Amino acid sequence: MQMNRLFEIVYILLNKKTTTAKELSQRFEVSVRTIYRDIDKLSSAGIPIYASQGKGGGISLLDDYILNKSVLSEDEQNEILFALQSLTVTQNPETGKVLSKLSSLFNKSNTHWVEVDLSPWGSDKNKTSAFTVLKNAILNHQMIEFTYYNSYGEKSRRTVEPIKLIFKINAWYLQGFCLTKNEYRTFKISRMFNIGALQEFFLDRTSDGLFVDDKKPRSQKWISVQLKFSPKGAYRVFDAFDENEIIRNSDGSFTVTTSLPENKWLVEYLLSFGTDIEILSPQSIRELIHDKLEEIILKYKK
């Protein structure tokens, strides 16, 4: 809250030039003494702010002070505005306000040169509200509680120390320490319901056991698979696999050699490619696909 107030004071002075401690204290609903303490902190941080006495006096910035030249380079300004512009699609009202103010301070008019679409979460008001709850809980080291449905449709109530929000492969996830399971877990946001922050706070844990920053979780078994895609499936091949895993064949088809997790998800994932894919190996996965297709066919036989 204090950092927001300090930022607001600088913003006011850049636009209004001069104000008084009384006006600022009324605006922020704090004492005049608190405002003067804020002025001292800003001055100690290198902001050329001063207070003058007498008629026409007040709190001011040096006339030649420009925030963008004194604090941040041109590239740093653009990076900040890009990050904020990316977050505006979550419809978090705080982000829009900060973007507007920083655009004014940096004298930047073109802040809409990029748009990041996080649909369907970004377009859902309930999920946007959940994003704000999760964000605040992470920043405040506040425990959260929610109902969760895993990939098998099993329902459970979880208490979690939230650590990080990540966006990956068209979906949002929360990473945190699950007190219910007593280990680090990753939760898909779309499966989280009735999210609420608790009046309990937590300290940072050691990094031991924290998420491995690669695509292969320690506890998950991975297998090597070889896949063949028809020319029509090219658009998904390059979306789903690394370039060095793909070989283009002379007939226009593609052969992919990669590692995938050996679980229930694998068969469903491969089936999502429809007739554009053929599993070349291993034989065990070919058999699983065959059995699943027979099961599907049986449902449509009269």
Express each pLDDT in 26-45 by its tens digit: 888 889 888 888 888 888 77
Domain boundary among 170, 201, 232: 201
Please check whether residues 158 and 195 belong to one and the same domain. yes
Least confident of 75-84, 254-263, 281-290: 75-84
In a domain, 114, yes or no: no
3-state class of 19 per DSSP?
strand
Please check whether residues 84 and 97 belong to one and the same domain. yes
Per the rule left: phi > 0, alpha: psi between -120 and 50, beta: everything else, 150 is: beta
The residue-averaged pLDDT of 207-224 equals 61
Please check whether residues 59 and 73 belong to one and the same domain. no
3-state class of 93 per DSSP?
helix
pLDDT in tens, 40-77: 888 877 778 877 777 767 888 776 555 544 455 666 66
pLDDT of 93 > 90? The answer is: no
Per-chain mean pLDDT for the chain: 78
pLDDT at 215: 47
Please check whether residues 167 and 185 belong to one and the same domain. yes
Q: What is the edge-to-edge ordering of all strands in the sheet holding 192-201? A: 183-188, 171-178, 155-168, 142-149, 192-201
Distances in Å between the alpha carbon of 116 and those of 18, 170, 246? 38, 11, 28
Please check whether residues 144 and 194 belong to one and the same domain. yes
pLDDT tier at 294, thresholds 50, 70, 90: very high
pLDDT of 279 > 90? The answer is: yes
Please check whether residues 193 and 237 belong to one and the same domain. no
The residue-averaged pLDDT of 143-149 equals 95
In a domain, 135, yes or no: yes
211 secondary structure, DSSP code: P
Please check whether residues 50 and 95 belong to one and the same domain. no
In a domain, 208, yes or no: no
Please check whether residues 76 and 57 belong to one and the same domain. no
Please check whether residues 196 and 162 belong to one and the same domain. yes
> What is the distance between the alpha carbons of residues 3 and 19, in angstroms, rounded to a whole number?
19
> What is the distance between the alpha carbons of residues 176 and 210, in angstroms, rounded to a whole number?
9
Q: What are the residue ranges of helices labelled H in the chain?
A: 2-16, 21-28, 32-44, 67-70, 74-87, 93-105, 125-140, 234-240, 264-271, 283-300
CATH number at residue 132: 2.30.30
Listed as own residue / partner, the contacts of 75-82 with beta carbons closer than 8 Å and 24 or more positions apart are: 77/102, 77/106, 77/108, 78/108, 81/106, 81/108, 81/111, 82/114
Select the more confidently predicted residue: 13 or 83: 13
pLDDT at 74: 63
Least confident of 86-90, 126-130, 184-188, 217-221: 86-90
CATH number at residue 31: 1.10.10.10
**What phi and psi values does residue 153 have, to the nearest 5 degrees?**
80, 10
CATH number at residue 266: 3.30.70
pLDDT tier at 214, thresholds 50, 70, 90: very low
Angle at 268 (CA atoms; ends 253, 172), nearest 5 degrees? 100
Please check whether residues 138 and 186 belong to one and the same domain. yes
In a domain, 286, yes or no: yes
In a domain, 209, yes or no: no
How big is the chain, counted in residues? 302
3-state class of 212 per DSSP?
coil
Least confident of 146-150, 157-161, 163-167, 279-283: 163-167
Please check whether residues 53 and 88 belong to one and the same domain. no
219 and 259 in contact (C-beta within 8 Å)? no
Distances in Å between the alpha carbon of 260 and those of 142, 267, 269? 35, 10, 10
In a domain, 212, yes or no: no
pLDDT of 283 > 90? The answer is: yes
203 and 184 in contact (C-beta within 8 Å)? no
Q: Which domain holds residue 27?
A: 2-65
Please check whether residues 37 and 49 belong to one and the same domain. yes
281 secondary structure, DSSP code: E
pLDDT tier at 182, thresholds 50, 70, 90: very high
Question: Domain tally for the chain?
Answer: 4
pLDDT tier at 80, thresholds 50, 70, 90: low
In a domain, 271, yes or no: yes
In a domain, 115, yes or no: no
In the numeric block, which tokens belong to residue 230?
Answer: 């028809």
Least confident of 69-73, 226-230, 241-245: 69-73
